[in-house]
Amino acid sequence: MEKQVIRVMLVDDHEVVLEGLIRILEREGGIQVVAVARTAEEALEKVERFPPDVAIVDIQLPGMNGIELIRRLKQAHPRIEAITLTVFDDEQFAKQAIRAGAIGYVIKDAAKEELVKAVRAAAKGESLISTSVARKLLEEISEEGGDKKRDEGLEGLSQRELDVLKLMTKGYNNRQIADILFISEHTVKVHIRNIFRKIGVSDRTNAVLWAIERGIVLKDKESVKPDKPPL
């Protein structure tokens, strides 16, 4: 069966950046750049004519900024996944982008492979946040302490739901989580739906951000307890 091509829109006001991104992505099999835009307004107009699977958006744009563009894109076209590509190695910008609906946050000087990986992950509804930014998010939570915030809303989550959430923060997909916990992929999906409902989010990326803000992450040397494998 032929793999479906991932359709990508690029939004950046620098011609050199756009040309570089096109070269990087179109060298990869299964990725096609279907539209480019230099402003948010142009992107909103082109998305109707050339609907992408994934939009790669710079934060700094003339006029409407990239975070507001992502918010509007997700409101009008929830199916489209958005990746923020930016020079800002900053956890506050990452939080804003994720809350606006971005599923990925990639730094412009990251390896080319990271951007390609982020596009492929986004097309599958999975999140990728550049390591340096993810580390800063974790450091911020550690410095804040935040016992009260950490405890808010946790009483509604079962131990298994907490396990699934912690594995989600490590970037594992549903199949990997199922293998780690010795449960079915269907059961993982049920747990994730329950997590979304209980913590009041509608997607995986915001669930991960919610968990990180409360320190619900898999610490070094910590492991989750799997169900007993079938005999």
> Per-residue pLDDT for 231 more than 70?
no
Identify the residue with better confidence: 129 or 43: 43
The residues that bridge with 17 in the sheet, in sequence order, are none
Least confident of 63-67, 75-79, 86-90, 151-155: 151-155
Helices (H), 146-215: 147-151, 159-169, 174-181, 185-199, 204-213
Give the residue range(s) of CATH 1.10.10.10 domains in the chain: 147-213
pLDDT above 70: percentage of residues in the chain:
81
Residue type, position 182, single letter: F
Give the list of residues 6+ apart from residue 45 with CB closer than 8 angstroms, or none.
Answer: none
Residue 152's pLDDT is 54
Least confident of 32-41, 104-113, 136-145, 179-188: 136-145
> Per-residue pLDDT for 32 more than 80?
yes
Q: How far apart are CA 72 and CA 169, in angstroms?
A: 26
The structural architecture, per CATH, of the domain 147-213 is Orthogonal Bundle (1.10)
User: Per-residue pLDDT averaged across 207-213, rounded?
Assistant: 81
Residue 97's pLDDT is 85
User: 91-100 and 204-213 are packed helices; what angle lies between their axes, rounded to 10 degrees?
Assistant: 140
Backbone angles phi, psi at 102, to 5 degrees: -65, 140
> Per-residue pLDDT for 73 more than 90?
yes
Identify the residue with better confidence: 99 or 15: 15
CB 205 within 8 A of CB 122: no
8-state DSSP, 28: S
- Grade residue 138 by pLDDT with cuts at 50, 70 and 90: low
Residue type, position 101, single letter: G
Coil vs helix vs strand at 10: strand
Residue 148's pLDDT is 45
> Per-residue pLDDT for 221 more than 60?
no
Identify the residue with better confidence: 138 or 62: 62
Give the list of residues 6+ apart from residue 186 with CB closer than 8 angstroms, or none.
Answer: none
Q: What is the CATH number of domain 6-136?
A: 3.40.50.2300
Residue 104's pLDDT is 85
Tokens 């939570």 sit at which residue?
141
Identify the residue with better confidence: 208 or 160: 160
Long-range contact list for 151-156, CB < 8 A, 24+ apart? 151/214, 152/214, 153/198, 153/199, 153/214, 154/214, 154/216, 156/198, 156/199
Give the residue range(s) of CATH 3.40.50.2300 domains in the chain: 6-136
Residue 206's pLDDT is 79
Strand 6-11 to 54-57 pairing: parallel
> Per-residue pLDDT for 48 more than 80?
yes
pTM of the model: 0.67
- Grade residue 1 by pLDDT with cuts at 50, 70 and 90: very low
Strand 102-107 to 128-129 pairing: parallel
